Structure 1
């Protein structure tokens, strides 16, 4: 009898845990991890594998998620509609990135965060980013399976888009056999989407433990050392990101998007991005948020993976601020030409860097070298990069969702149950309404 009672009690506790809102579980893990890290210090790094496991679980889902949702999404829209979506996504991401890096530069020039700090004695060898031409060429994989293994997101996206387009033409074929095979393959893709979202739902139940470990390790290694110039740089980056979030809010108001509903759905990916420091790793959570916002797969299956690769508004703010920080330490007053170079290189570099932890340092290395500044001060930025990376990644994934939500609203049939009823419907120039895709929520 006691055994049955204990079993029922355990199930009840587990059920209560599952029913407890994820955002609160993540918040508790975040606060508890920060307290534990500061209280215990360096020894807390012994629990690092718990955080690494969470990152691995998320990254495990990234490629399967991109493949199945992108094939499903592309095969649900016409090629003409896909071309419009891609153009709108690139335009939105590039414009907001240019705006973001300008915010970072303006705030840093006003605060001068590196003033009074001496240049460190040793230099930093930054990772050499690939040229833009090579990045664009590598979008077309010579071996899609190798691209999958290497984690080349753009190449995998290209292969998935080609497969989705082929599936679209199969389903619309005049040949009954080809059309039936296309419908059969589409049902398999829909089943794979349901499977991936079910796995995501399970992985997120482990998220609070992973969050606790990740934050505890970062706080344990960083400590509470308060170096004024570095604190200023941190303040500039976080302040710039707050302004960028305000810009997003203004854009959504222009399109009459429900702000409260948007952030209610976006809070989970924002917090996940803050903790994991990976736009790509947050894709599963961002996809769930897009579903909650009513965005169809035909949009988010393309815009979210693309945004995780090329949309780095938070990182752009960081690059602008950190470049001024490096110039302050080097005793260099940036010219107008150098500032324009920072904006241009920062925006273009975002295309060639992946949405993974530490990618911002690659962008910073490229920008600093292009402006002719010393690389030595980058060592100081690298010391607090984890703290800055948290906020900028959260901003990145927010920008991805804002762009996705707005693009969905401008495409007929790509937004279910919109939170605004007075927004004008866009003209239907695609010929047919998009086919909706059923996914797990």
Structure 2
């Protein structure tokens, strides 16, 4: 048994995940009645990720800021600028794609038990209150903006602490990271359960009706990942961006695709940053921060689904309104983790630009949930992989200026 366990762990994680997918498909097609016994694997895996991700972000950010020695330069200003530019660019591409490939939806489903924000002021109010919420409550409710705010404040306060205190924080950070790595190693079994549930209960027929919408969403995300982001990297680093892009997709994006959690993918990005020999003082902060605010995939989701709603209702979208949508999608996406339901529940806010009622908008949200098995996975893969891409790009840009 020990030998079998060691041999299994010696296989590359991506290959193990592929094996899990294949087994999940086979089981769903042969014994679909065994739902509760197999789907529990997926439920346990997702629950474990949700449980550990908030405390991971909290501890990592505190440790990174507290252990940062004065006088060490970081590239945080450039990284934040790259996060912002890339998120806006993603929304821009999504709007253009929606003009070129207009999509009409069949609005027949209803979203239940969700409450979208009523306006941009409510979004900002929610974000502000999430920032100043009780830290224990923030961790319990996975309020990442609140977690990030308290982690930054505590990290700054602990900068003046003695070395033994900082050592304890570093050890605790390493321990939590190790726990997440253990959970991610169980991904093949969890994904087996997730794939089994998706095929045995809903099948692929539910996705077939929305194939065009899925193709536009995924196609736009691929275009941003393989064209737009490389252009941004080249603009600042002046080097061939594709080795970095492909490495980040292979070692970060694929894992994020299956775990569907940017926060849980932080240790993967940290390990990749170390492998790329990036500045630890920079990536120790930029990667946890990016998991919270770098949301290009969310900007694409908001823009594409909102434009689909407008096309469905025959609403003519002028250039100025489209620009406002791009800006709103970028700003809203950056704070998506601070709004219950994430990017999908910000769609009614964007729909309000066109005078689309909440009843219609919430049907679009429901469609988002139906295609979420693909949309959310691709969105997370794009969001998480670009955290490492732009952290590295800022590092390369700094090296270029020094040479």
TM-score relative to the length of structure 1: 0.79
Alignment of 1:85-164 (within 5 A): 85-114=75-104, 117-120=105-108, 126-129=114-117, 131-138=122-129, 140-141=131-132, 143-164=134-155
CA distance in 1, matches of 2:111, 2:181: 44
Distance 1:380 1:336, change over 3 A: same
**Structure 2 equivalent of residue 173 of structure 1:** none
**Structure 2 equivalent of residue 67 of structure 1:** 58
Alignment of 1:388-407 (within 5 A): 388-407=375-394
The question of 1:236 aligning with 2:224 is answered no
Distance 1:381 1:297, change over 3 A: same
Contact 1:139 1:154 in 2 (8 A): yes
CA distance in 2, matches of 1:239, 1:196: 35
- Can you give the 5+ residue segments of structure 1 that lack an aligned partner in the other structure? 1-9, 171-181, 412-422, 428-441
CA distance in 1, matches of 2:98, 2:15: 34
**Structure 2 equivalent of residue 415 of structure 1:** none
**Structure 2 equivalent of residue 368 of structure 1:** 351
Distance 1:214 1:357, change over 3 A: farther
Shift of 1:43: 5.7
| Deviation sequence 1:335-371 (CA, Å, 0-9, x none) | 2232122112111111332189952211212211233
**Structure 2 equivalent of residue 248 of structure 1:** 229
Distance 1:46 1:105, change over 3 A: farther
Alignment of 1:35-50 (within 5 A): 35-37=26-28, 44=35, 46-50=37-41
CA distance in 1, matches of 2:93, 2:11: 38
CA distance in 1, matches of 2:207, 2:247: 36
Q: Which has the larger radius of gyration?
A: 1
The question of 1:77 aligning with 2:68 is answered yes
Shift of 1:186: 1.5
CA distance in 2, matches of 1:203, 1:125: 30
Contact 2:180 2:264 in 1 (8 A): no
Aligned residues: 393
Alignment of 1:44-59 (within 5 A): 44=35, 46-59=37-50
The SS at the match of 1:389 is helix
CA distance in 2, matches of 1:11, 1:244: 44
Alignment of 1:278-427 (within 5 A): 278-354=261-337, 358-374=341-357, 375-376=359-360, 377-378=363-364, 379-410=366-397, 423-424=399-400, 426=402
TM-score relative to the length of structure 2: 0.85
CA distance in 2, matches of 1:249, 1:31: 32
CA distance in 2, matches of 1:41, 1:112: 37
| Deviation sequence 1:301-333 (CA, Å, 0-9, x none) | 322222222221112112221112111211212
CA distance in 1, matches of 2:299, 2:327: 11
- Can you give the 5+ residue segments of structure 2 that lack an aligned partner in the other structure? none
| Deviation sequence 1:364-384 (CA, Å, 0-9, x none) | 122112331244241434322
CA distance in 2, matches of 1:12, 1:121: 50
Question: Which of the pair is proportionally richer in helix?
Answer: 2
